[in-house]
Structure formats: C-alpha cells, structure tokens
C-alpha cells in the first residue's frame, strides 16, 4: 500500500499549489460547460485562485499538500466558510488528487487524516454536478464522523448541491 502523507503547505510551496490548481480547474471545467467559468486565458492557463494569500495570512485557513510515496499527488484547502449558513468550525474549500492516484484510497486516506486531526463541526459542500465526488465524501464522512451525518440539499445563493455536516471529537 502506498505511503500517503499530508503536510501543511507554507507560502514557499505556493508555486506547487498554483500548478496543481491548474490540474484541478481542468478537471472541473467539464462541469462548467454552460458558464463562463473555466475558460482558458490567452496564456493557455486557467485564471489563478484569488484567495491564495489568505491561506498564509488568515489563521482559519490552511493549505495542505498530499504526497504519495514522497511525490506530490494533490492538495487540500481548509477554511471555516459554511455553505449551509450554519455554524461551522472547518470546511473543505478545495480538494484535489491527481488522476494517477484516484481509486486507490489516496484521497480517502488524505481527507480522513486532515479531517480526523481537527475536532469540531465540519462541513463538506459538493457541487450538484460533481456526481463522482458525492459518494467519495459520504465515505470519508462515515470514516471520521462521531454521531450523525446530516445531509442537506441546497439550491440557492449560498450553494447548489449536497452539504454534509458532522462532528469530529
């Protein structure tokens, strides 16, 4: 079984995160076929993530790199924004595992390590069109939640899709 490590990514790792973010947006762009989101710029790149700096200046935000056998394999961004509008201590803002490492338990192990290490009220919002991610996040929540997992279905200005809410003790 591959060795999966999650490490906090300081500002010195910003370039790696920005590069991984290009792959992440590429994957998501097929879900935005009917919107202006996900258009390539004239430089052949997707627009940069506007909130990078906040992950090193705001204490409630943390950026992580995911490694498999020592090699970069993805990233995760954690904040406290609640798409539900309810009190939340932690939320998965963005989560990406390179295609090479999908379906091998890498994402599940990385997500469980990140979430399980942070006690409190968690929220994971999954875009309605991201059908493949819904069972993944239900599985992760089942691994780390203590008590009930609340499932909300929103379609409003805050969110359009599934929201999982649960506690980690």
Complete domains list, the chain, with CATH: 4-168 (3.40.630.30)
Question: Which residue's structure tokens are 């060795």?
Answer: 3
Q: Mean pLDDT, to the nearest integer, of 38-42?
A: 94
Q: Is the pLDDT of residue 74 over 90?
A: yes
Q: Mean pLDDT, to the nearest integer, of 127-149?
A: 97
Q: Is the pLDDT of residue 141 over 90?
A: yes
Q: Is the pLDDT of residue 142 over 90?
A: yes
- Residue percentage of the chain with pLDDT more than 90: 92
What single string gives the DSSP state of each residue in 83-107? TTSS--SEEEEEEEE-GGGTTTTHH
Question: Quick one: pLDDT at residue 56?
Answer: 96
């Amino acid at each position: 079984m591959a060795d999966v490590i999650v490490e906090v990514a300081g500002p010195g790792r910003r370039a790696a995160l920005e590069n991984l973010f290009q792959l992440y947006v590429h994957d998501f762009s097929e879900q935005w076929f009917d919107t202006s989101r996900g258009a390539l710029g004239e430089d052949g790149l997707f627009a940069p993530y506007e909130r990078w700096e906040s992950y090193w200046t705001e204490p409630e935000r943390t950026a992580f790199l995911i490694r498999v056998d020592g090699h970069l394999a993805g990233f995760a961004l954690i904040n406290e924004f609640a798409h539900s509008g309810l009190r939340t201590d932690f939320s998965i803002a963005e989560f990406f595992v390179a295609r090479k490492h999908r379906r091998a338990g890498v994402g599940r192990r990385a997500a469980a390590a990140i979430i399980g290490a942070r006690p409190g009220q968690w929220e994971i919002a999954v875009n309605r069109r991201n059908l493949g991610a819904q069972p993944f996040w239900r599985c992760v929540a089942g691994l780390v939640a203590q008590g009930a997992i609340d499932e909300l279905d929103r379609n409003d200005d805050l969110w359009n899709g599934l929201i999982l809410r649960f506690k980690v003790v």
